[in-house]
């Protein structure tokens, strides 16, 4: 029993010793390239590691997302994901530096964690933890999605298109019913015409 306890303690200590802090600098770029808001833009982390978002300049966020909806919080796209979200961190010109720590837990070590900056997402201000570049969900694809959607979510865009289609369909249906009713009135009027003429002849 003591040997097992000692082995577990030694393993835990070894894991703690090998754990790393992986720093992503946020807002440190001075170029007009929005994809450089996170430096580096892609990191790989192991269980026990901590990814540290270091807000050094400007007013930015580090907000977790899902691949298909790159510019809205992960929880809004999928309620089962309690993603990280720094909220706005205004570091000014390096005068109010803050950090957000994201520990890599056993349950999410194999999970790709996409993230974005609220202000620059639509211009490519995104990044990723533990992506699989051999899959179809790549960082380049995530960045393209963000730019294509111009900082909005695919879900909200689809809902908007669906509402437009529904409204158009309803308008078309209403027009169709109206035309049918008009035709019925016209046919009824023509059918009643011979009867009216017959009545007029009898009265003469």
Report pLDDT digits (tens) over 59-109: 999 999 999 999 999 999 999 999 999 999 999 999 999 999 999 999 887
Dig out the tokens for 148 from the structure: 């294509």
Lowest mean pLDDT among 13-17, 57-61, 117-121, 138-142: 13-17
- Specify the CATH architecture of the domain 2-152: Sandwich (2.60)
Evaluate whether 47 touches 109 at the Cβ level (below 8 Å).
yes
Domain ranges of the chain: 2-152
What pLDDT score does 17 carry?
58
Contact present, 57 and 31 (Cβ < 8 Å): no
Kindly give the residue spans of alpha helices, DSSP state H, lying in 19-103. 74-77
pLDDT tops 70 at residue 33: yes
Task: Please give the model's pTM, rounded to 2 decimal places.
Answer: 0.69
Q: Report, as an integer, the average pLDDT of 135-161.
A: 76
| Per-residue model confidence (pLDDT) at position 124 | 96
- CB of 129 closer than 8 Å to CB of 113: yes
pLDDT for residue 100:
98
Q: What is the dihedral of CA 38, 41, 43, 48, to 10 degrees?
A: 20
CB-based contact 99:13 (threshold 8 Å): no
């Amino acid at each position: 029993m003591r040997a097992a306890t000692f082995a577990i303690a030694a393993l835990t200590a070894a894991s703690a010793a090998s754990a790393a802090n992986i720093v992503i600098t946020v807002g440190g770029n001075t170029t007009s390239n929005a994809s450089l808001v996170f430096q580096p833009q892609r990191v790989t982390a192991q269980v026990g590691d901590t990814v540290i978002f270091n807000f050094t300049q400007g007013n930015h966020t580090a907000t977790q997302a899902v691949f298909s909806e790159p510019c809205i919080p992960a929880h809004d796209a999928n309620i089962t994901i309690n993603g990280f979200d720094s909220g706005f961190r205004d570091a000014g010109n390096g005068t109010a530096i803050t950090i957000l720590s994201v520990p890599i837990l056993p349950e999410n070590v194999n999970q790709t964690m996409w993230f974005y900056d609220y202000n620059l997402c639509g211009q490519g201000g995104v990044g990723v933890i533990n992506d699989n570049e051999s899959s179809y969900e790549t960082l380049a694809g995530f960045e393209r999605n963000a730019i294509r959607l111009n900082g909005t979510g695919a879900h909200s865009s689809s809902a908007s298109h669906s509402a437009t289609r529904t409204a158009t369909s309803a308008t078309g249906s209403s027009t169709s019913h109206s035309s049918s009713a008009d035709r019925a009135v016209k046919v009824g009027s023509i059918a009643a015409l011979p009867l009216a003429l017959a009545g007029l002849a009898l009265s003469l």
